[in-house]
Amino acid sequence: MPTRLLRKQFKHCLRVLTDFAQKCDQIARAQDGDAPDNLRMLFAYISADVYEVIKNCADNEATLSKPKRVYVKSPNAIFARHAMATRKQNPEESLQTFLNELLVLSKACNFEDVTAVVYRNELGFINGLKSHEIRPRLLENN
Protein backbone atom coordinates (compact mmCIF):
# COMPACT_ATOMS: atom_id res chain seq x y z
CA MET A 1 0.00 0.00 0.00
CA PRO A 2 1.48 3.42 -0.92
CA THR A 3 2.75 5.50 1.98
CA ARG A 4 0.45 8.39 1.01
CA LEU A 5 -2.59 6.13 1.36
CA LEU A 6 -1.36 4.79 4.70
CA ARG A 7 -0.74 8.34 5.91
CA LYS A 8 -4.31 9.32 4.96
CA GLN A 9 -5.67 6.20 6.63
CA PHE A 10 -3.71 6.87 9.81
CA LYS A 11 -4.81 10.50 9.98
CA HIS A 12 -8.41 9.40 9.58
CA CYS A 13 -8.09 6.69 12.26
CA LEU A 14 -6.41 9.12 14.63
CA ARG A 15 -9.23 11.63 14.17
CA VAL A 16 -11.89 8.97 14.72
CA LEU A 17 -10.11 7.73 17.84
CA THR A 18 -9.65 11.24 19.23
CA ASP A 19 -13.31 12.09 18.71
CA PHE A 20 -14.40 8.76 20.17
CA ALA A 21 -12.10 9.10 23.18
CA GLN A 22 -13.45 12.59 23.93
CA LYS A 23 -17.02 11.32 23.78
CA CYS A 24 -16.17 8.33 26.03
CA ASP A 25 -14.50 10.65 28.53
CA GLN A 26 -17.62 12.85 28.60
CA ILE A 27 -19.82 9.81 29.21
CA ALA A 28 -17.49 8.46 31.91
CA ARG A 29 -17.44 11.81 33.72
CA ALA A 30 -21.21 12.04 33.54
CA GLN A 31 -21.55 8.52 34.97
CA ASP A 32 -18.61 8.73 37.42
CA GLY A 33 -17.04 5.72 35.73
CA ASP A 34 -13.87 4.81 33.91
CA ALA A 35 -13.20 5.75 30.31
CA PRO A 36 -12.54 2.87 27.91
CA ASP A 37 -8.99 1.90 26.93
CA ASN A 38 -8.22 4.20 23.99
CA LEU A 39 -5.41 1.95 22.77
CA ARG A 40 -7.78 -0.98 22.34
CA MET A 41 -10.21 1.27 20.52
CA LEU A 42 -7.47 2.35 18.12
CA PHE A 43 -6.84 -1.29 17.19
CA ALA A 44 -10.49 -1.61 16.17
CA TYR A 45 -10.14 1.18 13.60
CA ILE A 46 -6.75 0.62 11.98
CA SER A 47 -5.61 -1.60 9.15
CA ALA A 48 -3.16 -4.47 9.48
CA ASP A 49 -0.44 -2.27 7.95
CA VAL A 50 -0.77 0.38 10.65
CA TYR A 51 -1.10 -2.31 13.32
CA GLU A 52 2.31 -3.73 12.32
CA VAL A 53 3.87 -0.35 13.11
CA ILE A 54 2.29 0.02 16.57
CA LYS A 55 1.82 -3.54 17.86
CA ASN A 56 4.84 -3.39 20.20
CA CYS A 57 4.20 0.07 21.63
CA ALA A 58 3.88 0.10 25.41
CA ASP A 59 1.55 3.03 26.02
CA ASN A 60 -0.89 5.42 24.35
CA GLU A 61 1.72 8.12 23.81
CA ALA A 62 4.14 5.80 21.98
CA THR A 63 1.29 4.25 20.03
CA LEU A 64 0.27 7.61 18.63
CA SER A 65 3.73 9.10 18.15
CA LYS A 66 5.37 6.19 16.33
CA PRO A 67 2.92 6.07 13.39
CA LYS A 68 3.13 9.84 13.12
CA ARG A 69 6.89 9.50 12.61
CA VAL A 70 6.39 6.76 10.02
CA TYR A 71 3.43 8.10 8.03
CA VAL A 72 3.28 11.84 8.61
CA LYS A 73 6.52 13.09 7.11
CA SER A 74 7.44 16.72 6.71
CA PRO A 75 6.88 17.51 3.06
CA ASN A 76 9.91 17.92 0.84
CA ALA A 77 8.98 21.15 -0.96
CA ILE A 78 11.33 20.60 -3.89
CA PHE A 79 9.97 17.10 -4.49
CA ALA A 80 6.40 18.37 -4.14
CA ARG A 81 7.02 21.13 -6.68
CA HIS A 82 8.56 18.62 -9.07
CA ALA A 83 5.59 16.25 -8.63
CA MET A 84 3.16 19.08 -9.31
CA ALA A 85 5.11 20.44 -12.29
CA THR A 86 5.31 17.02 -13.93
CA ARG A 87 1.76 15.83 -13.11
CA LYS A 88 -0.24 15.24 -16.29
CA GLN A 89 -3.93 14.59 -16.68
CA ASN A 90 -4.64 10.90 -17.26
CA PRO A 91 -6.80 10.03 -20.30
CA GLU A 92 -9.68 8.70 -18.17
CA GLU A 93 -9.38 11.46 -15.55
CA SER A 94 -11.96 14.22 -15.46
CA LEU A 95 -10.86 17.85 -15.40
CA GLN A 96 -12.28 18.26 -11.88
CA THR A 97 -10.38 15.21 -10.60
CA PHE A 98 -7.16 16.47 -12.18
CA LEU A 99 -7.66 19.92 -10.64
CA ASN A 100 -8.35 18.41 -7.22
CA GLU A 101 -5.18 16.34 -7.46
CA LEU A 102 -3.16 19.45 -8.33
CA LEU A 103 -4.63 21.24 -5.31
CA VAL A 104 -3.63 18.32 -3.07
CA LEU A 105 -0.12 18.32 -4.53
CA SER A 106 0.20 22.09 -4.10
CA LYS A 107 -0.32 21.90 -0.32
CA ALA A 108 3.15 20.45 0.20
CA CYS A 109 4.85 22.85 -2.24
CA ASN A 110 5.37 25.65 0.30
CA PHE A 111 5.06 28.23 -2.45
CA GLU A 112 6.46 31.67 -1.81
CA ASP A 113 7.71 34.54 -3.90
CA VAL A 114 10.96 33.47 -5.54
CA THR A 115 13.33 34.99 -7.99
CA ALA A 116 13.84 33.58 -11.45
CA VAL A 117 17.27 32.38 -10.33
CA VAL A 118 15.80 30.29 -7.49
CA TYR A 119 13.12 28.85 -9.75
CA ARG A 120 15.65 28.02 -12.47
CA ASN A 121 17.99 26.38 -9.99
CA GLU A 122 15.28 24.26 -8.41
CA LEU A 123 12.89 23.16 -11.11
CA GLY A 124 14.63 24.01 -14.35
CA PHE A 125 17.63 21.91 -13.45
CA ILE A 126 15.75 18.97 -11.96
CA ASN A 127 13.04 18.79 -14.64
CA GLY A 128 15.60 19.11 -17.42
CA LEU A 129 17.79 16.20 -16.32
CA LYS A 130 17.94 13.28 -18.73
CA SER A 131 19.20 10.85 -16.12
CA HIS A 132 16.42 8.92 -14.40
CA GLU A 133 18.95 7.79 -11.78
CA ILE A 134 20.17 11.23 -10.70
CA ARG A 135 16.76 12.98 -10.50
CA PRO A 136 15.34 10.77 -7.69
CA ARG A 137 18.55 11.17 -5.68
CA LEU A 138 18.30 14.97 -5.91
CA LEU A 139 14.63 14.90 -4.92
CA GLU A 140 15.25 12.79 -1.79
CA ASN A 141 16.55 15.74 0.23
CA ASN A 142 15.63 19.35 0.68
Q: What is the pLDDT of residue 5?
A: 65
Q: Where are the domains of the chain?
A: 3-71, 77-139
Mean confidence (pLDDT) of the chain: 75
What DSSP character marks residue 124? I
Q: What is the pLDDT of residue 120?
A: 67
pTM assigned to the model: 0.41
pLDDT band at 44 (very low <50, low <70, confident <90, very high): confident
Q: What is the pLDDT of residue 125?
A: 65
Q: Is the pLDDT of residue 92 over 70?
A: yes
Which H/E stretch holds residue 5? Answer: helix 3-31
Q: Which of 30-39, 69-78, 114-123 has the lowest mean pLDDT?
A: 30-39
Do residues 101 and 87 make contact, with C-beta atoms less than 8 angstroms apart? yes
CA distance 50 to 54: 7
